[in-house]
Structure formats: C-alpha cells, structure tokens
Structure 1
Amino acid sequence: MAKSVADLPSNEPAPQYPIESVDNALKVLLLLGERDELRLTDVAQYLAVASSTAHRLLAMLQYRGFIRQDSRSKAYRPGTALTGVAFGILQRFDVRETLRPFLEELNREIAETVHLGILDGTTVRFIDAVESPRAVRVASRLGQSMPANCTSTGKALLAQFTQDEVRRLFPEEELETLTSNSIRSRTELEIELEAVRRRGYATSSEESEEGVSSVAVALPTDGSPVGLAFNVAVPISRMNRSDVRRIGELLVATVQDARKLLH
C-alpha cells in the first residue's frame, strides 16, 4: 500500500506512554483524508492488524459518527461528526476573515447579497454573508443549510467532484427538493454539473426559493477536504442572461484573486 501522511515522521516527540488503539484510530482518520472511501481489508492491511481488530476500531469510529458505512458497498466514508469538526475549525480559522473583503467588494460592485458557502456532504451551509443595500433584496442566508442540488453554491462545489464521487454522495436517483424548479434526479444533476464545468460557474433560478436567482463559483480545493464557494443572490426580476454571465465572470475573477491569499 502506498505511504499515507500518517507514515510521515512527526515533528513532535513521541508520547512517553503511547496508546496503540488511539494511534490506530487517528491513522484511520488521516488515511480517510486521502481517500474517497476505506474498506475493512484496507484498514487491516494498513495497520497490520487482524480483520476483527480493524472491525472493532471502525465500529467505534462509526458509533461516534466519525465515519459512516455505505449500506450497499460496505465501504466507510467520512461521517457527520468528522465533517462537523472540520466545519467548526473552519469557522474559527482565518478563512472567513481572509475572504470577507472579497464579499464586501462584490457587494459594493453589484449591490446584491453575497454569500460564502461550504459543502457538508450533500448539504450547503452559508458561513458568511453581506446583504444587498437595496430595498428589494435577497435576505441573508447566513447560518442556514440547504440541499446542495437546490443551490448554485452546491452545484459549483459538486462540479469539482468526479461522477463516481457524486454518485457516492447521492446513491439514490431521487433527490430532495425545495421548490418545483429544484433538480429532482441524480441524472439531471449530473447533466447540470457538466454544464457548470463548461461555463466555470453555477446558476440557480428559483430552485431554492421562489423569486430568487443566484450565481456561484467555487474556490479550487487544491487537496483541501473543505470546499468553499462565493455566491451572488439576486431577485429574479433583476436577473437576465447578460446579468448571469456578467456576475459569473466577476466571480471567476474574484476566486482567482482570493485563491492567492489562501496559499
């Protein structure tokens, strides 16, 4: 098996009284950060332990929500506790502070509501926002969560995944919807994601909320387990095709500038 980040030497001194089971659990989580999924045989082989030992270790991680097991393939993937920890760290990280000026600049330039969103499984969470100064505007969604397939932010982030990764996230053909315009099937979503990849930006027209149109562009993940995207939300009465294209191009340029500050 190829070397994992867990195999690399640590800069910290080894603990005086190491606990092998804890070390193995942490190694599994580090390994999961490098792969889309893990199987029992992978873990047993990597840790050089019996399958029964690997199974007990995985069962405890699953019990605590750090991993989940696919009912069909039996493979293990990140659980809600793990993504929750990542989200909590991201909230306290400087990333929002770093990206806040870009939200403010977008807001000044187009006078519409702008958001910063993050993908958590099949859900989008909005972690920062600047509301439009106009009387008629889209209200801030700060702190809200929505199905990724119903939002331009979600589609922009999902477009960075391969088809296989998308299908693992959405094992069923039927998808959750918010309005009559929401994408209802995985097949329809895959077609839409191809269009997003070609254009370079994602769109939504009354798919998450009636009367709301939006455009979003994701920051390249560059190996990060957490995806981020900028979103501009506009009342549908103020959004036409040329507006969509203009905002999309502006977001692409914004992402290119923002990306430089995150590395």
Structure 2
Amino acid sequence: MPNSDQSGPAGLSSVENALRILLLLSDRPSLRVADAATELGIARSTAHRLLTTLREYQFAAQDKANAAYRIGPVLTRIGLTANRRMDVRSAAGPALERLREQTGETISLSVLEGRDVRFVDCLEGTRSVRVGDRTGLVLPASSTAGGKAILAALPEEDLERRFPDDGLPTLTPSAPATREQLRAELVGVRRDRFALNSEESESGISAVAAAVCDPSGAPLGAIAIVVPASRFDRAAAEQWLPALFDGVRRTEEILSRA
C-alpha cells in the first residue's frame, strides 16, 4: 500500500517535493502554484498544499491572497545566519592570532547551534603543556565558557525555547545540571561580560570567554582562551580579560565595516 505522504513521479515524498519547491523559490523572484506543479510534475492541489504549509512556517511568503509566492523570512534568516557565521570566522582571525601571541594559550572561536556550540576556529597555544585544536568539536553550550557567553546575550524567550526542560546535559560533575543553575550563572555573565568554564566540558580543561555581537547586540559567536585546568583560576582569567575584551572589540569593529 503506498505511503500517504507520497505524490508525483517515482513516489517522491511530500518532504522531497517541499525541498524542491524551496530550491525553486531560492532561484527566482516569485513562484506561482501552476509553475511549481509543472516544474515538479505534481497536481496543482498538491503544489498549493505544499506552498501553503511552507507559508505557514514562514519558509515562503505572499504579498496578498492568491499572489505568487516568494522566499519567506525564515529562509532569509537562515541565509543571513550562514553569512554571519562565515563573516565572524574571517573577522575574528586577527584577534585569535593576537590573543595567542599575548597569552601563549589556545584560542578558540565558537558559534551557537541550538543548545550546543560548535568550535569553528582554533589556534593551538605555544606553551609546552597546552590544550589541542578543537575545531569542529560540538559541546553543550551550558557546559562551555563560549556557550555561556553567547547564551547570556540572548533574550530570555530564546533561552526558554532552547531549554524547555529543567534538566541540562552534563559532561562532568562541575557543569550546571539544571536550567535554574544556568540562569543564575548567566546573571553574573551579563554583569561581568565574560564566562568561565572550570572543567565543565572536560576534566583538566578550563576557559574564559566573551561574546562577539553585531551592532544590535545579537551574539554571533564567542572567543575563548582555553587552558589546562592546572594553571587556571578566576584570578588568572581576570588577568587575560583586557586582551580578551580587546580581541572582541577588534572583531566587532571589522564586522561593523563589512
């Protein structure tokens, strides 16, 4: 018995057809139901249903009823997010180099992905005992200095959406285990403009980080100084803050001119 979610040639699923419609939307200024049906080889009623669903979720938009469809705000936002991510990595490069020279420690750049952070750039420190390259690593945002710096810069409703349950993923006993513990820590991060990770993502590794924001204050990523826990405490972290804040400022200036 055929799947009820299938339509069109070769049993293409509705999901596949919706993705094909998104590609059509991205390739032209507007798309009519009849054109979508012809291009995909599906019934007009199916094309209309798919476009209506995409509009409801803001992947597509209409200027008025029965008008042609165009790219919706969600697709625009996704594109802007991807561009910003590439921009922040490029813009932060000189600051990462300068911070490594100033501290001798490993310097990382991370970005938020849902409830996690991904390390998109990392320069390994020059000291004999150092933290290795973390590029590509994905960790819970609530357990990392960079993640907490970014989360502190988000609106409260965004935090609610990302963390609907009280329990948080933890990698070590040092990490915040509940949403309320995280919230309490973020109050201090907002006040001090930096976040700490004391062996919360991995035993033996600690970090201090600050968020990189766009002119509106929205966080684009975070720069962190990552060190072996044996030479890390709050006093040591505070000694690095002038250099860290200067690196963030330099990165934000480059981004503002882009």
Unaligned runs of 5+ in 1: 1-14, 22-50, 63-76
Match of residue 167 from structure 1: 160
Q: Please tell me whether residue 119 in structure 1 is matched to residue 107 in structure 2.
A: no
Q: Is the 8 A contact 1:216 1:229 kept in 2?
A: yes
Q: Which residue of 1 aligns with 2:209?
A: 216
Deviations 1:50-91 (A, max 9, x none): x997446446959xxxxxxxxxxxxxx979xx75x6665456
Equivalent in the alignment of 1:6: none
1:18 has 2:30 as partner: yes
- Counterparts of 1:92-111 in structure 2, within 5 Å, are 93-111=86-104
Give the number of aligned pairs. Answer: 203
Q: Distance in 2 between matches of 1:258 and 1:53?
A: 40
CA 1:57–1:108: 2 relative to 1, 3 Å:
same
One-letter code aligned to 1:131: E
**Correspondence for 1:253 among 229, 232, 246:** 246
Paired-residue identity, %: 32
TM-score of the aligned structures, taking structure 1 as reference length: 0.68
* RMSD between superposed Cα atoms in Å: 3.2
What is the CA distance between 1:239 and its match in structure 2?
Answer: 1.2
Residue 44 of structure 1 aligns with which residue? none
Q: Distance in 2 between matches of 1:60 and 1:122?
A: 22
Cα distance, 1:212 vs structure 2: 0.8
Contact 1:163–1:190 (8 Å) recurs in 2: no
The yes-or-no answer on 1:228 pairing with 2:240 is no
Aligned counterparts, 1:1-263, within 5 A: 18-20=30-32, 54-55=52-53, 57-58=55-56, 89-90=83-84, 93-223=86-216, 227-263=220-256
Q: Compared with structure 1, are the counterparts of its residues 78 and 121 closer, same or farther at alpha carbon in structure 2 (3 Å cutoff)? A: farther
Partner deviation per Cα, 1:1-59 (whole Å, 9 max, x = no partner)? xxxxxxxxxxxxxx9983146xxxxxxxxxxxxxxxxxxxxxxxxxxxxx997446446
1:208-262 deviation digits (Å, cap 9, x = unpaired)? 0001110000012334876211011011111122211112332112211221111
In structure 2, relative to structure 1, the CA distance for the partners of 1:60 and 1:219 (3 Å cut) is closer
1:197 aligned partner, one-letter code: R
* Structure possessing the higher radius of gyration over alpha carbons: 2
Q: Give secondary structure in 1 for the equivalent of 2:226.
A: strand
